[in-house]
Amino acid sequence: MTSLELSNVRKSYGQTAVLDGVSLNMEPKEFVAFLGPSGSGKSTLLRIIAGLETLDEGEVRLEGRRIDTLPPGERGVAMVFQHYALYPHMSVRENMSFGLRNAGMPRDEIEARVVQAAGVLEIEPHLDKKPGQLSGGQRQRVAIGRAIVKQPRLFLLDEPLSNLDAALRMRTRVELAQLRRRADAAFIIVTHDQAEAMTLADRIVVMNDRRIQQIGAPMEVYSRPANVFVARFVGSPAMTLLPATLVPGGDAFARIRLGDGSEVDTRVPRDGLPADGPLQLGLRPESVRVAADGTAQAEVELVERLGERTLVYGRLADGAAITAEDEGNSRIRLGDKVGLRIDGTAAHIFGPDGAGHHAAAG
């Protein structure tokens, strides 16, 4: 049985379309991340699932039951809001039990659930405090606790980590991963932080410009981006894209000529590529190494020393920007001319329509 099922969801505000035919099927207990820049429609999609927005067209089903016609409280979903959205005048205990009381649950069962969730989240000492007396991290746990006690079939997390500082963010990320293991429910997290999406999710739904750009496992999205947008958005620093042309003839794999005249042998099958039109060669920084015997030459514009490795931002002879990697103890300086060895086996090719072509799997 599937968990959440979105079929052909459309939404527009007046003339402005925000979601254009979105479909998605989630496995039971699956953890899915909606990843995309602001305005990509990812939050709107989450709010449609929660029932906080209506949809213009399409259906939302949860475990076979159609829920887009139900009020938010009857959908079997629980949401953790970006700004916590705790009730400021209620104690932590009342915050967590409010939903259960509205559902008419017996008092002793409410109390049992609240105490249990508070124990798991280590907020027992704060049960009788008001949200205003808690730190940001504690409030976040109360917000998570309020979702847990409802024992929903689907957790909706709306950028739950974006208000936390770096240390707390790491810790909460671990806690979300643990919660996910314990809970018998599916999860959706909305985020613009790819590290969050990559580490937490089973599958990432990359969204941009009202549409799903790609659905796939984190490494699949990273290593086989469906199009130029996904290639540039996922991965940090972003993938280098170089204008390129196909060198005619040769074997089954495409040979590519760059703007500065250098050529790269890829492992992308030649027959899948468009017959003509401008191409782009996609290179992750780790597949461009600084090397004296490199095939391409670049002038260094910026050096970032990250400790275990060094990122080198430079320009090829034709002015195209390229990002390369070097050893952690690199001695490269601004203005140096360096050779670059391009590893064609990990290169991607993007057609004139932006669609990605990748090395044959395996």
Partner 1 sequence: MNRTTRRYEGFLFVGPFLFLYAFLLIYPLILGIGISFHRADPFGGRLWVGLDNYARLLADPIFWQAVVNTFKLTLMIVPPLTILALALALALNRATRSAAIFRGIFFSSSVLSVTIVTLIWRFILTPDAGLIAKILHAMGRDPIPFLSDPHLTIPALAIATIWWCLGLPMMLVLAGLQQIPPDVYEAAALDGAGRWTTLWRITLPSIRRTLILVVMMQTAAQLQIFGQAQLLTAGGPSGASRPIVLLIYEIAFGRWELGYGAAAAELLFMLVLAVTLVQYWAVTRREAEA
**Is residue 157 a contact point for partner 1 (CB under 8 A)?**
no
Name the minimum Å distance from CB 7 to partner 1.
23
* Residue from the set 72, 125, 250, 328 that interacts with partner 1 by CB under 8 A: 72
**Is residue 136 a contact point for partner 1 (CB under 8 A)?**
no
Q: Output 15-21 pairs: Cβ under 8 A, ≥24 positions apart.
A: 17/210, 18/44, 18/210, 19/44, 19/45, 19/48, 19/55, 19/210, 19/211, 20/210, 20/211, 21/58, 21/211
- DSSP for 325-347, please give it: EEETT----TT-EEEEEE-GGG-
**Is residue 13 a contact point for partner 1 (CB under 8 A)?**
no
Closest CA to 244 of 297, 314, 318, 295: 318
Counting residues that bind partner 1 (by CB under 8 A) gives 24
Binding residues among 35-54 for partner 1 as defined by CB under 8 A: 50-52
**Is residue 114 a contact point for partner 1 (CB under 8 A)?**
no
Name the minimum Å distance from CB 125 to partner 1.
20
Site string for partner 1, 225-264 (x = CB under 8 A): ----------------------------------------
- DSSP for 211-280, please give it: EEEEEE-HHHHHHS-SBHHHHHHSSSSPPEEEEEEEEPSSSSEEEEEETTS-EEEEEEEGGGS-SSS-EE
Closest CA to 78 of 105, 45, 100: 100
**Is residue 117 a contact point for partner 1 (CB under 8 A)?**
no
- DSSP for 43-61, please give it: HHHHHHHHTSS--SEEEEE
Residue placing its CB nearer to partner 1 in the complex, 141 or 146: 146
Residue placing its CB nearer to partner 1 in the complex, 96 or 221: 96
**Is residue 154 a contact point for partner 1 (CB under 8 A)?**
no
**Is residue 301 a contact point for partner 1 (CB under 8 A)?**
no
**Is residue 132 a contact point for partner 1 (CB under 8 A)?**
no
Q: Looking at this protein, which amino acid is placed at residue 33?
A: A
**Is residue 103 a contact point for partner 1 (CB under 8 A)?**
yes
Q: Identify whether the C-beta of residue 42 lies closer than 8 Å to the C-beta of residue 36.
A: yes
**Is residue 109 a contact point for partner 1 (CB under 8 A)?**
no
* Residue from the set 86, 121, 185, 212 that interacts with partner 1 by CB under 8 A: 86
Among the candidate windows 23-31, 78-86, 253-261, 338-346, which touches partner 1 by CB under 8 A?
Answer: 78-86
Q: Identify whether the C-beta of residue 34 lies closer than 8 Å to the C-beta of residue 214.
A: no
**Is residue 106 a contact point for partner 1 (CB under 8 A)?**
no
Q: How far is CA 288 from the centre of its chain?
A: 25
Please list, in sequence order, all residues whose beta carbon lies within 8 angstroms of the beta carbon of residue 32, skipping any fewer than 6 positions away: 24, 26, 186, 187, 188, 189, 201, 202, 203, 204, 205
Name the minimum Å distance from CB 73 to partner 1.
3
Name the minimum Å distance from CB 16 to partner 1.
17
* Residue from the set 37, 73, 119, 277 that interacts with partner 1 by CB under 8 A: 73
- The residues of the shown chain that bind partner 1, judged by CB under 8 A, are 50-52, 71-74, 77-79, 81-83, 85-90, 98-99, 102-103, 146
